[in-house]
C-alpha cells in the first residue's frame, strides 16, 4: 500500500477515522458524489481493516491477516457496487470438521448425518430421527445454549459437532451460555454442503488489498496511516477536528470515542498460531473445524486452498496454516466479536444516545455500532449511512 498524504494546507471536507470497508465506502461515495476532499486516518499501517490481506512469498498464499474473509451477498446494490472495483473468482465456500479422527462436511447435512450414523436415511427419515433425538427437550424453548442445541439438532450431533467447539470458542460451558448465541442451527436434509446460501459468492481476483486500493484511487481521497485519532500531537485528532467543525465518520470503538465514560463494551478476540508444512497441501480444504475438546484451537485455515486458480504460482512443496484460538478481549486486543449480553446491549444503547447527540459525527462499522457484520453488511450500511447521514453534512461542498 502506497500511503497518500494530505499534500496541501487546506482542511478536508470530511475526515474518516478507520480505513476499513465502512470508511472506504463512505470516502469513495463522498469524493465521487459530492466532489468532497476526504482524508482517511487509521492507527494501523495498512488500509482494509480486518479484510486486509498480503501475499506470503514462500508459499504464494494470500494471507488474510485477521482470519478468513469470504465475500458473499444477495444484495444487488452491494454486488454491483463491489464489482466496480474488483472481479471475483468462482470460489464456493465449504467447511469440514474433524471429530473423533474422522472428517465430516458442515453445515450438518444429509451427508453428515448418514456418515455419522453409518446409515442411508432419506431426508424424511433423517428429519424424524433428529426430532426423536431431541428427547425430553423436543418442543421446548430452552434458555441455555446446551439445551437449545440438543433441542434443535438432537443430542448426538450436538455433542459431536457443536458442544466442545462452542466451549472452546467462548471459553465457557455451553450450559452457562444464553441460547440466543446460536438461535438456530442449520440442518440440511439434502447433500448440499455449500456453506453460504447467498446469490453471489467469491473472492476478489487480485486480492483484498488491490480491491481496497481501487476504492480510494480518486485523487480527492488522501490517507494517513499509523495515526491515532486520540493523539493530540497530530493534526487529525478528535479535539482539533471537533473544534474546527469538520464532519467526521468514526469507525473505531464507540466506547473509546467517549473515553469509556460509561464502561467498557465486551468483545471476543482471536489469536493465530502459524504452522508451515513441507507439503503442497495439508488439509485439502481451506477451513477445517476441530470439534473435539482435546484440540485446543477451534479451526485451522489453509490459505492456499482459497485460491486454487493460482496453483501454478504457488509453491508446490510448502504450505502455511493458521490455527485459531478464541478468548475474551482486553482493551489492547483486537476486538472481533461483540459479546452482546443483555448488559452489553444496554450499555451500547446508552453510548448510542451519546453518539446521536454528537452532531457532525457519523458512527459506523462493527466497532462504531457494536455489531457483528459480514463484509457485504458493512458495505450496505455504509452506502445507506452516506445517503442518510453523511451527504447532508457535505451540502456545503461546492
pLDDT tens profile 98-127: 999 999 999 999 999 999 999 999 999 999
Q: Could you state, in order of their start, the residue ranges of all structural domains in the chain?
A: 14-88+206-264+335-394, 108-181
CA atoms within 13 A of residue 211's CA, in its CB half-sphere: 25
Q: Does residue 4 surpass a pLDDT of 80?
A: no
Question: Mean pLDDT in the chain?
Answer: 94
Tell me the mean pLDDT in the region 330-347.
91
Q: Does residue 7 surpass a pLDDT of 80?
A: no
pTM: 0.93
More confidently predicted of 178 and 298: 298
Q: Of these residues, 268, 302, 323, 380, which one is catalytic?
A: 268
256 counts as catalytic: no
Which among 214, 194, 173 is positioned nearest to 86, based on CA atoms? Answer: 214
The pairing of beta strand 38-42 with beta strand 221-225: parallel
Q: DSSP letter for 264, please.
A: P
Q: Where is average pLDDT lowest: 138-147, 279-288, 311-320, 381-390? A: 138-147
Between CA 396 and CA 1, with CA 5 as vertex, the angle to 5 degrees is 120
Q: What is the pLDDT of residue 342?
A: 85
Tens-place pLDDT, residues 196-255: 999 999 999 999 999 999 999 999 999 999 999 999 999 999 999 999 999 999 999 999
- Alpha-carbon gap, residue 235 to 8, rounded angstroms: 13
Judge whether 14-88+206-264+335-394 and 108-181 match in fold: no
Helices (H) and strands (E) counted in the chain, each on its own, are: 14, 16
pLDDT band at 5 (very low <50, low <70, confident <90, very high): very low
155 counts as catalytic: no
pLDDT band at 370 (very low <50, low <70, confident <90, very high): very high
Q: What is the pLDDT of residue 344?
A: 92
Q: What is the pLDDT of residue 126?
A: 97
Q: What is the pLDDT of residue 272?
A: 98
Q: What is the pLDDT of residue 6?
A: 41
Other CB atoms within 10 Å distance of the CB of residue 212:
24
Backbone angles phi, psi at 73, to 5 degrees: -165, 155
324 counts as catalytic: yes
Which among 224, 235, 196, 172 is positioned nearest to 11, based on CA atoms? Answer: 235
Q: Of these residues, 81, 91, 250, 299, which one is catalytic?
A: 299
Tens-place pLDDT, residues 43-89: 999 999 999 999 999 999 999 999 999 999 999 999 999 999 999 99
Q: Does residue 398 surpass a pLDDT of 70?
A: no
Q: What is the pLDDT of residue 193?
A: 94
- Alpha-carbon gap, residue 269 to 171, rounded angstroms: 12
**In this structure, which topology does domain 108-181 adopt according to CATH?**
protoporphyrinogen ix oxidase, domain 3 (1.10.3110)
Q: DSSP letter for 179, please.
A: G
Q: How far is CA 230 from CA 165, 237, 358, 394, in A?
A: 38, 5, 16, 24
* pLDDT > 90 in the chain, percent: 88
Give the DSSP H/E element, type plus range, for residue 392.
helix 391-393
CATH number of 14-88+206-264+335-394: 3.40.50.720
**Coil, strand, or helix at residue 17?**
strand
- Alpha-carbon gap, residue 55 to 383, rounded angstroms: 29
How many Å is the Cα radius of gyration of the chain? 23
Tell me the mean pLDDT in the region 347-365.
98
Size (the chain), residues: 398
**Coil, strand, or helix at residue 104?**
strand
Q: Does residue 2 surpass a pLDDT of 60?
A: no
268 counts as catalytic: yes
Q: Of these residues, 176, 334, 372, 387, which one is catalytic?
A: 372
374 counts as catalytic: yes
Q: DSSP letter for 6, please.
A: -
Q: Does residue 339 surpass a pLDDT of 90?
A: no
Q: Of these residues, 57, 184, 312, 332, which one is catalytic?
A: 184
CA atoms within 13 A of residue 233's CA, in its CB half-sphere: 2
353 counts as catalytic: no
pLDDT band at 139 (very low <50, low <70, confident <90, very high): confident
Q: Of these residues, 208, 324, 380, 386, which one is catalytic?
A: 324
Return the residue matching grid coordinates 500500500. 1
Other CB atoms within 10 Å distance of the CB of residue 78:
21
Amino acid at each position: 500500500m502506497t500511503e497518500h498524504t494530505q499534500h496541501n494546507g487546506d482542511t478536508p471536507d470530511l475526515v474518516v477515522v478507520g480505513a476499513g470497508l465502512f470508511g472506504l465506502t463512505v470516502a469513495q461515495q463522498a469524493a465521487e458524489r459530492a466532489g468532497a476532499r476526504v482524508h482517511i486516518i487509521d492507527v494501523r499501517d495498512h488500509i482494509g481493516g480486518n479484510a486486509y490481506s498480503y501475499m506470503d512469498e514462500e508459499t504464494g498464499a494470500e494471507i488474510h491477516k485477521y482470519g478468513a474473509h469470504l465475500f458473499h451477498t444477495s444484495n444487488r446494490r452491494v454486488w454491483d457496487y463491489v464489482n466496480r472495483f474488483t472481479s471475483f473468482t468462482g470460489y464456493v465456500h465449504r467447511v469440514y470438521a474433524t471429530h473423533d479422527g474422522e472428517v465430516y462436511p458442515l453445515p450438518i447435512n444429509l451427508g453428515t448425518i448418514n456418515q455419522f450414523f453409518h446409515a442411508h436415511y432419506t431426508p424424511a427419515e433423517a428429519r424424524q430421527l433428529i426430532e426423536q433425538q431431541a428427547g425430553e427437550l423436543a418442543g421446548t424453548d430452552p434458555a441455555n445454549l446446551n439445551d437449545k442445541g440438543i433441542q434443535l439438532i438432537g443430542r448426538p450431533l450436538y455433542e459431536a459437532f457443536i458442544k466442545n467447539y462452542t466451549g472452546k470458542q467462548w471459553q465457557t460451558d455451553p450450559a452457562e451460555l444464553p441460547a440466543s448465541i446460536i438461535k438456530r442451527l442449520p440442518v440440511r436434509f439434502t447433500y448440499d454442503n455449500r456453506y453460504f446460501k447467498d446469490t453471489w459468492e467469491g473472492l476478489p481476483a487480485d486480492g483484498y488489498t488491490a480491491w481496497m486500493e481501487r476504492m480510494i484511487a480518486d485523487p480527492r481521497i488522501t490517507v494517513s496511516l499509523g495515526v491515532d485519532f486520540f493523539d493530540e500531537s497530530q493534526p487529525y485528532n478528535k479535539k482539533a477536528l471537533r473544534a474546527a467543525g469538520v464532519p467526521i465518520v468514526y469507525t473505531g470503538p464507540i466506547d473509546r470515542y467517549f473515553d469509556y465514560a460509561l464502561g467498557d463494551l465486551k468483545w471476543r478476540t482471536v489469536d493465530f498460531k502459524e504452522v508451515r508444512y513441507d507439503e503442497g497441501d495439508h488439509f485439502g480444504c481451506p477451513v477445517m473445524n476441530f470439534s473435539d475438546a482435546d484440540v485446543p484451537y477451534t479451526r485451522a485455515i489453509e490459505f492456499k486452498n482459497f485460491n486454487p486458480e493460482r496453483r501454478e504460482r504457488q509453491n508446490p512443496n510448502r504450505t502455511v496454516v493458521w490455527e485459531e484460538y478464541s478468548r475474551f478481549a482486553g482493551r489492547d486486543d483486537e476486538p472481533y466479536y461483540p459479546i452482546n449480553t443483555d448488559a452489553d446491549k444496554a450499555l451500547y444503547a446508552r453510548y448510542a444516545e451519546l453518539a446521536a447527540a454528537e452532531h457532525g459525527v457519523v458512527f459506523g462499522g462493527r466497532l462504531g455500532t457494536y455489531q457483528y457484520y459480514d463484509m457485504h453488511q458493512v458495505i450496505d450500511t455504509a452506502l445507506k449511512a452516506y445517503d442518510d447521514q453523511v451527504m447532508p453534512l457535505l451540502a456545503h461542498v461546492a
